[in-house]
Structure formats: structure tokens, C-alpha cells
Chain A
């Protein structure tokens, strides 16, 4: 390109090549190109590059496996009433696609667990929290308050629980808060904070660790769900998810590290 006047033309020439100009502007550009060999060369260069790109640059369509995975997930969500557009005061983050994974398996698992669960006590706690998690995966059971905003979720528990659970937003670490609900573990009302990691749900159960509720092992596994437990500031925390143990541990570390 040469000539100061023509330098102003290059974006217009490009826009013309891209079909973005209205007829009057396009006519003005064409008139200029008739007079200016340099700008004509610019246009030719853009046209030939565009042709080369469309010929030589591979368009990468979605692999069959990916298409199938997405289709089945979306189709499964179609049977869940979680997909209904519900007006709630808080912004919606409703992982309705989780419900079908709960579906029949969760119901059967719940019935099985209801039969074998020991009544209360420290040793039964991993079973109880996993059962609570599985039950929550049923359609309509995951969240009472749907919000990614910790300043909405935390006060929601006021008046509903006799303690105030700490609620943290871990979106920066890849574990966004999606909401919360009341739940019961070993006969005690607890807070369940719901987090998300890709397509996985994490339930973080919180209740005051007065000692009388008992303790369980720091990490355990039930029915394909991983459980991590810790205590802090007089509260017991139980994280349950089908995430891998490593990623669940990442979640716990992130929680512990954040104010």
C-alpha cells in the first residue's frame, strides 16, 4: 500500500470484500479502485487470501461422540420439569440435566440405602450425607434457593436454621455456587450448599459440630460418590460429589483457602 489517501481506504475495501457495505458506499469504493492500482491490489490480496483460507483451513466439525453426548444430555433434560422457565427472585442456574442422571438409579439407590442405613451416630454419617445427596438429585429436589450470589444464598437460611452457614463463591476456581437448600442429616436440619463443576453437582453439607452428632472418617466413598469431611470454626463440613477424589479435594482446598 502506498499513498496517505489510500491508507484510509483499506478498512473500506475490506468491508466491501466482506459484503458489509451498502450500495452507495460500495459504489464509492469501486470507483476508487478503478482509479487506484494500489488499492485494487489490496482488494485482490484480500480476495485471494479469503479464498485460500476457505480452501486450506480445515473446518473442524464436532466429533460424532460429542454430538451424541450433547444430544442425549439435552434430550434427557426434556423429561425433567427442572427445565420449566420458573420465575424466581434470584438469577437462575438450574442444572436440570442432572436430574436424569439421578432418575431411576437414584430412586433405587435411595430405597436400598433407606433399608441398610444405621440409625444416626458417627459411623452412619457418610451414608447419610450420600443418601441426602442422591435424594437431592431427584427432579425438583436439588435447591430451594437458586442463586449464584452468596449474598442471596446465605441470608436465605436466616430463620430456617438455628445457625448461619458460611457461604463462599468459588467461581474463580471453577466451582461456581448454584444455590442451596435445607436438608436433614441424621435427623438434624442442615444447610446444603450446591456447587457445580462442569456437569457434576457438589453438595456441601454444613452444620454445627457440637460433638454430639459424632464424627466420621475424613474421606470415604459410597455408591460411586466421594465424600470429604472437615471441621472449622465449630462447624462440620461434608462435601459429596461424583467428582473424582482429586477434584473434590481441589474443591475442599479452595473452600478452605478462601475467606
Chain B
């Protein structure tokens, strides 16, 4: 057995970028988990998504050129989450999953028999509004979560989702119309069943 040293001049540079990474990215762990949680089916998967996303972010950090670190991280989280969703897709659902977007299509309603989004929707202890949100097609739900819960701008949402701003606006509108329709306020405020 031989020890084969692989150090060379470029590998011996010990620039501590990890500290920069910590400062830039760790404050946004909550945002990362919240987004992951609303995109994938359960808490355990969301934790995996966040861990994988942080690992990827660590390796991408060398090419990070400034800008909002939260949006930068959330874009990575979103892509990891979609990868996870694609890997677990079985059969077809009526929801679009980031495969192009047609603004002219009618409102997409998620198939309640479809996993995994519907599984989230059926959980106990969710408000009616949360169930309606969980039942939205993923690409509508993510826009709403990023706008209402993370308060990202349209431009930032476009950066995270990879969608043009016009598409973001359209998806937000459709998400809100769907929520208002499926969780009307009359007498059902905060109902859990």
C-alpha cells in the first residue's frame, strides 16, 4: 500500500470560505425547511431535501457571486425537492410539475388520489386553508408559499422557480383563486376536520 500525496500548490491554499458560507446561508435554514416541507410529502423527506440542498450549496458556493443568499439557497432547495418529487412519482397526476407552464390552461386542480401532495393534504390537524394549499399543484403552491410565507418579490420568486415574472404572476393569481374557492371564509374559518 502506498500513501500517495495529492497535495499541489493549488490544493494547499486553505482559504476559509466555509465561515462565509455559514454566515451567508445558515440564517436561511428555516426558509429552506419551510419551502421543502411544502414541496415534498413529509417532514423526513423535507429534512433530507434540506441536507442534500445544503451539501449542494456548499459545493456551489465557490461560484456564488453575491445577491440575496436566501433566494440563492431556496433555488437549490427547490431543485432538490423537485428531484425528490420526480424520483417518487408513480403513475400520473393532473398537476403540472415544472414541465413547462401554459398560462392559457384552465385552473389545474390536483388529483386527490395522487401521492405525495395529497398525503400532505390529508394530514390531521391542518386548517382548511392548509389543506387547500397542500392540494394545489406544486408549481402554484410554491409561488404562493414564496410570496406569502417568505415574502419574496416576484423577481426573487422567478429566480427561485426559474419562471419568468409573467408566469409567476399568473401562477400566484391562480393559486389565490383556487384557495379562495376551496377554503371560503363563510363559517369555516380555521375549521379542522
CB nearest to B148 among chain A residues: A53
> If the complex has contacts A18-B147, A52-B185, are A74 and B18 also in contact, measured as CB distance less than 8 A?
yes
**Contact across chains for A81 and B34 when beta carbons are under 8 A apart:** no
> If the complex has contacts A20-B154, A49-B179, A67-B29, are A57 and B13 also in contact, measured as CB distance less than 8 A?
no
A141 to B125, CA, bound (A): 50
**Contact across chains for B22 and A63 when beta carbons are under 8 A apart:** no
Q: How many residues of A contact B (CB 8 A)?
A: 62
Q: Mark A170-206, 1 if CB is under 8 A from B, else 0.
A: 0000100000011110000000000000110000000
**Contact across chains for B51 and A199 when beta carbons are under 8 A apart:** yes
Stretch from A92-100, A158-166, A210-218, A220-228 at the B interface: A92-100
**Contact across chains for A11 and B13 when beta carbons are under 8 A apart:** no
CB nearest to A10 among chain B residues: B173
Could you say which of A56, A66, A83, A199 contacts B17, with CB atoms under 8 Å apart?
Answer: A83
Q: Mark A69-101, 1 if CB is under 8 A from B, else 0.
A: 111011101101101111110001111110000
Q: Which of A34-70 contact B (CB under 8 A)?
A: 45-46, 48-50, 52-54, 56-63, 66-67, 69-70
**Contact across chains for B19 and A63 when beta carbons are under 8 A apart:** no
Residues of B with C-beta under 8 A to A18 = 147, 154, 172
Q: Which of B134-190 contact A (CB under 8 A)?
A: 144, 147-149, 153-154, 169-170, 172-173, 176, 179-180, 183, 185, 189-190
- Say yes or no: is B105 at the interface (Cβ < 8 Å to chain A): no
- Say yes or no: is A152 at the interface (Cβ < 8 Å to chain B): no
Q: Which of B32-70 contact A (CB under 8 A)?
A: 32-34, 37-38, 43, 46-48, 50-52, 54-55, 58-59, 62
Q: Which of A207-251 contact B (CB under 8 A)?
A: none
Could you say which of B13, B58, B149, B180 contacts A54, with CB atoms under 8 Å apart?
Answer: B149
- Say yes or no: is A106 at the interface (Cβ < 8 Å to chain B): no
Give A87 Cβ to nearest chain B Cβ, in Å: 7
**Contact across chains for A114 and B1 when beta carbons are under 8 A apart:** yes
**Contact across chains for A62 and B6 when beta carbons are under 8 A apart:** no
- Say yes or no: is A108 at the interface (Cβ < 8 Å to chain B): no
Residues of B with C-beta under 8 A to A95 = 55, 59
Interface of chain B, main secondary structure: helix
**Contact across chains for B185 and A84 when beta carbons are under 8 A apart:** no
**Contact across chains for B130 and A97 when beta carbons are under 8 A apart:** no
Give B15 Cβ to nearest chain A Cβ, in Å: 5
A81 to B169, CA, bound (A): 44
> If the complex has contacts A58-B130, A86-B13, are A63 and B33 also in contact, measured as CB distance less than 8 A?
yes
Give B124 Cβ to nearest chain A Cβ, in Å: 13
Residues of B with C-beta under 8 A to A96 = 18, 58-59
Known interface pairs A49-B176, A75-B22, A78-B19; 7 further A-B residue pairs with C-beta atoms within 8 A, sorted by A's residue number = A52-B185, A56-B130, A70-B50, A74-B25, A77-B18, A81-B14, A84-B11
**Which A residues fall within an 8 A CB radius of B?**
10-11, 14-15, 18, 20, 45-46, 48-50, 52-54, 56-63, 66-67, 69-71, 73-75, 77-78, 80-81, 83-88, 92-97, 114, 117, 128, 131-132, 135, 140-141, 144, 174, 181-184, 198-199
**Which B residues fall within an 8 A CB radius of A?**
1-7, 10-19, 21-22, 25-26, 29-30, 32-34, 37-38, 43, 46-48, 50-52, 54-55, 58-59, 62, 87, 127, 129-130, 133, 144, 147-149, 153-154, 169-170, 172-173, 176, 179-180, 183, 185, 189-190
The 4 A-B residue pairs with the shortest CB-CB distance, nearest first, are A78-B18, A62-B33, A61-B30, A85-B62
